[in-house]
Structure 1
């Protein structure tokens, strides 16, 4: 494990300011919401941006943030880049959890019930130190490691320009956001794509993760199933 960690740190790592943040949780019954970005600049904080979006977009994330005051505060007062999971990401995680719990003869769990330490550990991975748009990632052809605001956890960010209308890389900008799991071997990484990028708030930049992403980067079930 020590050698693996040393190799991992050979990737480019970008470290910026430390900040504090908080989380909230999911509703038991909420619809999947296909997020469509219509605003590139928001006159408010990162937290206020989440709160201003339509119902069934970030309700689950806001619920988790309400349970995690430190993370919530960082979205209001710290200089950050947020990779925001929508309701669909939480619903998929909760669904998988409760399928397993049913098989085990256990009662269902929801975001309001989940262990706070586990929620906090997983949620910090979506909050990166410093405010950056995709311009910061373009120079790294293979992507680079960026550090979470707390716990100094390395997350891998790779810029991806999609193709469109017959032009190579002529389409919209995208980011592949990955949890390397402290491994240099990409087959172990858990990846998430973005639906929208470069939404600028007063204290940071918001990138919206695609709904197919499972909150927790495939660790939610194992961490909260007690």
Structure 2
């Protein structure tokens, strides 16, 4: 009898031991997700460099910018979301597919990858703004993010707002009992999460280096949060912080209506002028871009929701330098543009280029004529979904 009891006890202990060694979701890292880290004796840049064949593309991009190299090699307390090579490969493939449609040569991150004599490299400025979205001057662990169900809005190192959220995934046979991961979201300058693009960290434990906590993104992420092609194909300046400082009129409604709504990346909102006793044409608004930029062109998106009466089809873009007396008309540089005369493409975003490029801190958008049943009219109201300044 004693032998039977002893055998049963041993069997029970073995079964318990096997059960505790199992991992929900099939990941060998399950126990370390969100709660434990792997220590690395070196800086975050040294860690990324040491992972040959894993983060090579991320290192190539970082090393294009000396200030990023200095930051990631210096003492500090940062969070870095490590981007696997596959994420860059997806971005490059999608980008060059669109380049081919324009009969343009492919572009790459490294000169070693140039596939034909007319191949080139990606625009440095666009890459700088995108890679910065994965680096934060604060340590974010899963536990710190866990209390909020909607996540935490946080500026990345160049001031662009991202959202970080702790996510408890489902396990086999159980809801929210699986891997703990972090969701990193590009907010697209919008408070509405339907416009956000998100990526999840992998189930591999975070790595603590001497100056940063490193979370690894999944292999199916696309570098740039699915905006890589748009931003690099025709790179536009980041509008974060741009502030309207003057306007002819604004008309609040379900569509927004303020000048700020033409700068918010929300296709459902727009700047709209008064329709009752409106001021006469020309109509205008003025924006402070907060620093001097080299402007190579402008893209405007007229109202595209079906009713495009009031869309500006003849307009002037004016620029003034930092420190200028904006009340003095002589300080403004002006370039005038108009849509094609048939009006067939009025709902599409249009790009207009400057020759030569203009250095400015302020711009003024002036509506000369608008669409209203026929292309050009002096009907005195206007609206605009979005306006971007190009490099």
TM-score range, shorter chain: 0.7 to 0.9
1:64 is aligned, of 61, 64, 68, to: 61
Cα pair 1:85 1:209 within 8 Å, conserved? yes
Higher strand share: 2
1:159 is aligned, of 163, 166, 175, to: 166
Offset of 1:210 from its aligned partner? 0.8
1:194 is aligned, of 193, 201, 213, to: 201
Aligned to 1:94: 92
Which runs of structure 2 are paired with 1:19-58 in the superposition (5 Å)?
Answer: 40-53=38-51, 55-58=52-55
In structure 2, C-alpha distance between the alignment counterparts of 1:48 and 1:98, rounded to whole Å: 31
Instruction: Indicate the SS of the match to 1:178.
Output: strand
In structure 1, C-alpha distance between the alignment counterparts of 2:66 and 2:84, rounded to whole Å: 19
In structure 1, C-alpha distance between the alignment counterparts of 2:198 and 2:218, rounded to whole Å: 11
Cα pair 2:183 2:199 within 8 Å, conserved? yes
Matched, 1:141 2:149: yes
Aligned length: 189
Which shifted more, 117-126 or 168-177? 168-177
User: Which deviations, in whole Å up to 9, do the C-alpha atoms of 1:115-136 show, x marking residues without a partner?
Assistant: 1111001111100111222111
- Greater CA radius of gyration, 1 or 2? 2
In structure 1, C-alpha distance between the alignment counterparts of 2:44 and 2:162, rounded to whole Å: 20
User: Which deviations, in whole Å up to 9, do the C-alpha atoms of 1:5-63 show, x marking residues without a partner?
Assistant: xxxxxxxxxxxxxxxxxxxxxxxxxxxxxxx979722111111111111x321010011
Higher RCO (CA-CA < 8 Å; seq separation 6+): 1
Which structure 1 residue ranges, 5 or more long, are not aligned? 1-35
Aligned to 1:13: none
In structure 2, C-alpha distance between the alignment counterparts of 1:187 and 1:161, rounded to whole Å: 21
RMSD: 1.9
Cα pair 1:85 1:215 within 8 Å, conserved? yes
Aligned to 1:105: 103
Offset of 1:162 from its aligned partner? 2.0
Offset of 1:167 from its aligned partner? 4.2
Instruction: Indicate the SS of the match to 2:38.
Output: coil
Aligned to 1:10: none
In structure 2, C-alpha distance between the alignment counterparts of 1:58 and 1:144, rounded to whole Å: 26
Cα pair 1:80 1:149 within 8 Å, conserved? no
Instruction: Indicate the SS of the match to 1:92.
Output: helix
Provide the TM-score with structure 1 as the length reference: 0.78
Offset of 1:190 from its aligned partner? 0.6
Offset of 1:155 from its aligned partner? 0.7
Offset of 1:111 from its aligned partner? 1.1
In structure 2, C-alpha distance between the alignment counterparts of 1:74 and 1:190, rounded to whole Å: 26
Which shifted more, 186-195 or 215-224? 215-224
Matched, 1:130 2:128: no
Aligned to 1:183: 190
Aligned to 1:211: 219
Matched, 1:221 2:221: no
Higher helix share: 1
